[in-house]
Structure formats: structure tokens, C-alpha cells
């Protein structure tokens, strides 16, 4: 596994263009399975997780090719419904093809997905939804097998799971009749998927609310679609600028997709200005006043769990005693231990962290325990004194395309090795 070497103390200054959202691209790539003709996706980020999804689609019989930054998926050759176990274990998002396969072929076989260390993320909610639509479910040591012709249904999710909402939306899009999903997730990525499915010919109403209705069609057409900007990547660069006392202009950034973050940055003295053309300008002070911050993560529009680690790293720059409560995943504060290796004063258990901000950090050797934890360590390294070596660079590269190169453009001293 590789490393990032970060030398702190340099103020970020410049312009960054935000790439397409990984969390929108992956389910939309999976939804291409539903199409009867090729799908063209623009703005897909070149990431390790995207590469795994390409391998999944190829294993099922699709033809996938890059054309510059555009991804073309021809699903007409798909005739396999068993998702290779080695690919399922590499990336949790491989579960997204279950719904499309079930709707298209009437069968899907998968094992519990891997690729995640932040807590228990069972697929029970997905399976429950498919069973409500008439799928027969068989569990064995080999995994989960689903069979049957799907029927429209009214489904009430026990938790607003993003993945389950998306999987059921995709299955419903090719199931004639109206399917209703209550207590649905409301993330912007849900809306992007809904717009893609509508272009293909399905009718989707209520995406972005907790009550989604999908009227499916027996056949959906291939279309051209542009992936929305990555709100988590935008937050990461905004927090990196804020942590270094910098000034960064974020292009292709939708401020409305960052509820909670913009307000909290303003609360501690960061100037955040929304400009025309999806541009966000972030200007941080050299020093922060003492401002205690308390937040808890939650489903959208709450504070995103995927921003929590990066925000914790930033809070180490702000004098005061801060509290973060992680209410989405039970094991997502592991980065607190790694930050303590750099001198951070943090007291944390699995769910709650007490952060003593305004104290100096010092470079050291740390490890990226998961994707967003790794991004938090990069942010910490940018303002720590001395050199920070972040091991398991590949974990970070699952969700950030050319992170080191883009940070160098705005003044960071960071190198891969």
C-alpha cells in the first residue's frame, strides 16, 4: 500500500473544480443494467470504486469503455445474474446491481458486500424491499439468491437507507405499475438517480422527499446523463482551505447540497460566498476565535456522516471544546485515535467525541482507516507542524481523484509514494 507525505504550514490559495459525485455515479452505473441500449455518462470520476463497478458490469456481460472523461456502457449483452464474490468483497456499492438484475432477468445472486470498515451495514433493508415486491429470497452459505417477476408495491423502510432507496427505485423503474417507497432517503444523489431514470422512460415523483413514487415501464432506453458534483469532495476542499487559513474558489459546487456545513463554517468566522454558475468561494481567517461547536450526524438534510471526519480535523484548529455525535454508523470515530498520534486532544468512544481545539498538531505516521478518515488526516497534515506520513493511500483514492495533484495546485506540499 502507498503513502501520502504531507508537509504542513502552507496556506491553500487558488481554484479547484469539483468532480462528479462518486455516490451518484455508482448507482447510476448500476442502473444502466436496466437499459435496452447504450448509456453515456458524463462527469464520472476516475476512481478505484468506479473501476470496480466497471469490472462488475463487465462480468455480467456489459461492454464498458472510457471516452475521455465520458463513460459509455452498453448493457445489451448482460446475461449473468451472479455477482462475482471477489468484486462484492472489494466494494459495498456492488450491491446496487441486485435491483436492476432482478428487474431485468428475474434473478440475482450476491454475498454480503465488503469494502467498508465504518460499522455494520447489512443489506437486510434491501432484501426486505425486494421481498415486498414479490421476490423469493433464499439464504445460504453461498450468499443471497433472489428470484421472481417483480410487482409494484408500497414499501415502508425501517430506516431511510440511501442504498436501499436507490436499489428499490432502480428495480421499480422496470416494473410496470406504481411502486411507493416511504421513509425514503432524501440525499441529492437520490434526486440525480431519479432524473436519470426519468430520462430512460420511468416516472419518478417525490425524489428528495421521504415519499417516492415510481411508475415503471417494461423497457427503458439508454440515455446521456451528467453526474452531479460531489458534495463530499467539495466539503473536503472547503475544510482544507478553512483549516489552513486559506482562500479557495470551488467550481462546479452546489452549495444547496451542503446543509449544515456552510452555516457552521460561517459561525467560526469563515467567509463563504455563493456565486453564480455553481461557484463557492471560501475565505478563512488566519486565527479563529474561541467558538464551541456541537453537532450530530444524520440522514440528509442533516450533517452528513461522510463529512464528519474532515470536520473533526478542522475543529482542531478552532479554540474551544467541541462535541461530535456520530448517529449513523457505530464505528466511525476511529480517526480520532490517528489524530491523537499527531498530538490532537480528543476523547472519543464509538459514538461521541470531545475535541479540544486550538492546540498545535505535529507530523507523524498515521493510517487511513477508511476513505473519509484518510481525508481527515490529509487535512490535519496540511496544518500540522512538520511531516505527516499517511499510510494506505489507496483507501483515500477510492473516493478522491488526483487529490494530491489538485491540492498541490492550490499550494499544498503533498506527495504520493
Confidence class for position 390, pLDDT limits 50, 70, 90: very high
Quick check: 383 pLDDT over 80? Answer: yes
The predicted model gives 9-21 an average pLDDT of 98
Q: Which three cell numbers stand for residue 398?
A: 477510492
The predicted model gives 164-187 an average pLDDT of 98
The catalytic site residues sit at 116
Judge contact between 88 and 114, C-beta under 8 A. Answer: yes
Give the pLDDT confidence score for residue 165 in this predicted structure: 98
Give the pLDDT confidence score for residue 122 in this predicted structure: 66
Give the pLDDT confidence score for residue 331 in this predicted structure: 82
Q: Which three cell numbers stand for residue 285?
A: 481567517
Give the pLDDT confidence score for residue 175 in this predicted structure: 98
The mean-pLDDT minimum among 107-121, 131-145, 381-395 falls in 107-121
Give the pLDDT confidence score for residue 162 in this predicted structure: 96
- Asked whether residue 16 is marked as a ligand-binding residue, the answer is no
Judge contact between 314 and 238, C-beta under 8 A. Answer: no
Quick check: 158 pLDDT over 60? Answer: yes
List pLDDT tens digits, range 86-119: 888 888 888 999 999 999 999 999 876 654 555 4
Mean pLDDT of the chain: 95
Confidence class for position 45, pLDDT limits 50, 70, 90: very high
CA distance linking residue 222 with residue 214, whole number of Å? 18
By CB neighbour count within 10 A (0-12 exposed, 13-18 middle, 19+ buried), where does 417 fall? Answer: exposed
Domains of the chain, first to last: 3-19+229-416 (3.65.10.10), 22-226 (3.65.10.10)
pLDDT, greater one: 85 or 223: 223
Give the pLDDT confidence score for residue 113 in this predicted structure: 66
Quick check: 314 pLDDT over 70? Answer: yes
Other C-beta atoms within 10 Å of 281: how many?
Answer: 17
- Asked whether residue 23 is marked as a ligand-binding residue, the answer is yes
- Asked whether residue 328 is marked as a ligand-binding residue, the answer is yes
Judge contact between 34 and 76, C-beta under 8 A. Answer: no
Percent of the chain beyond pLDDT 90? 89
| Alpha carbon 398 to chain centroid, angstroms | 10
Whole-structure pTM value: 0.95
Which of the residue ranges 135-149, 213-227, 317-331 has the most confident prediction, judged by mean pLDDT?
213-227
CA distance linking residue 42 with residue 24, whole number of Å? 12
- Asked whether residue 92 is marked as a ligand-binding residue, the answer is yes
Name which of 195, 252, 187 is nearest 45 in CA terms.
252
List pLDDT tens digits, range 277-300: 999 999 999 999 999 999 999 999
Q: Which three cell numbers stand for residue 410?
A: 492550490
Give the pLDDT confidence score for residue 111 in this predicted structure: 79
Quick check: 266 pLDDT over 60? Answer: yes
Name which of 124, 131, 200 is nearest 163 in CA terms.
124
- Asked whether residue 44 is marked as a ligand-binding residue, the answer is no
Amino acid at each position: 500500500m502507498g503513502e501520502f507525505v504531507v508537509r504542513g504550514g502552507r496556506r491553500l490559495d487558488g481554484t479547484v473544480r469539483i468532480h462528479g459525485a462518486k455516490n451518484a455515479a455508482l448507482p447510476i452505473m448500476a442502473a444502466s443494467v436496466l437499459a435496452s441500449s447504450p448509456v453515456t455518462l458524463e462527469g464520472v470520476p476516475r476512481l478505484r470504486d468506479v473501476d470496480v463497478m466497471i469490472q462488475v458490469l463487465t462480468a455480467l456481460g456489459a461492454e464498458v469503455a472510457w471516452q475521455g472523461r465520458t463513460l459509455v456502457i452498453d448493457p445489451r449483452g448482460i446475461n449473468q445474474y451472479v455477482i462475482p464474490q471477489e468484486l462484492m468483497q472489494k466494494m459495498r456499492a456492488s450491491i446496487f446491481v441486485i435491483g436492476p438484475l432482478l428487474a431485468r432477468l428475474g434473478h440475482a445472486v450476491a454475498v454480503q458486500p465488503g469494502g467498508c470498515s465504518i460499522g455494520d451495514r447489512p443489506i437486510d433493508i434491501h432484501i426486505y424491499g425486494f421481498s415486498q415486491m414479490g421476490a423469493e429470497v433464499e439464504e445460504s452459505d453461498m450468499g443471497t439468491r433472489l428470484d421472481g417477476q417483480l410487482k409494484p408495491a408500497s414499501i415502508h423502510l425501517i430506516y431511510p437507507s440511501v442504498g436501499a432507496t436507490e436499489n428499490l427505485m432502480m428495480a421499480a423503474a422496470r416494473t410496470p405499475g406504481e411502486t411507493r417507497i416511504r421513509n425514503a432517503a432524501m440525499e441529492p444523489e437520490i434526486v440525480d438517480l431519479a432524473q436519470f431514470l426519468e430520462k430512460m422512460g420511468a416516472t419518478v415523483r417525490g425524489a428528495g422527499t421521504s415519499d417516492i413514487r415510481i411508475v415503471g415501464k417494461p423497457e427503458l432506453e439508454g440515455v446521456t446523463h451528467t453526474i452531479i458534483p460531489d458534495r463530499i469532495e467539495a466539503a473536503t476542499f472547503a475544510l482544507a482551505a478553512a483549516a489552513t487559513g486559506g482562500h479557495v474558489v470551488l467550481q462546479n459546487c452546489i452549495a444547496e447540497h451542503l446543509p449544515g456545513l456552510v452555516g457552521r463554517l460561517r459561525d467560526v468566522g469563515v467567509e463563504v460566498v455563493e456565486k453564480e454558475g455553481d461557484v463557492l468561494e471560501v475565505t478563512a481567517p488566519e486565527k479563529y476565535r474561541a467558538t464551541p461547536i456541537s453537532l450530530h450526524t444524520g440522514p440528509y438534510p442533516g450533517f452528513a456522516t461522510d463529512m464528519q471526519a474532515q470536520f473533526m480535523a478542522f475543529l482542531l484548529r478552532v479554540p474551544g471544546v467541541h462535541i461530535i455525535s456520530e448517529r449513523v454508523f457505530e464505528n466511525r470515530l476511529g480517526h480520532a485515535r490517528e489524530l491523537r498520534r499527531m498530538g490532537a486532544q480528543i476523547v472519543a468512544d464509538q459514538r461521541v467525541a470531545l475535541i479540544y481545539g486550538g492546540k498545535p498538531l505535529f507530523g507523524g505516521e498515521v493510517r487511513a482507516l477508511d476513505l473519509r478518515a484518510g481525508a481527515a488526516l490529509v487535512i490535519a497534515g496540511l496544518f500540522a507542524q512538520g511531516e505527516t506520513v499517511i499510510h494506505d493511500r489507496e483507501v483515500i483514492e477510492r473516493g478522491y481523484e488526483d487529490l494530491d495533484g489538485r491540492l498541490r495546485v492550490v499550494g499544498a506540499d503533498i506527495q504520493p509514494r
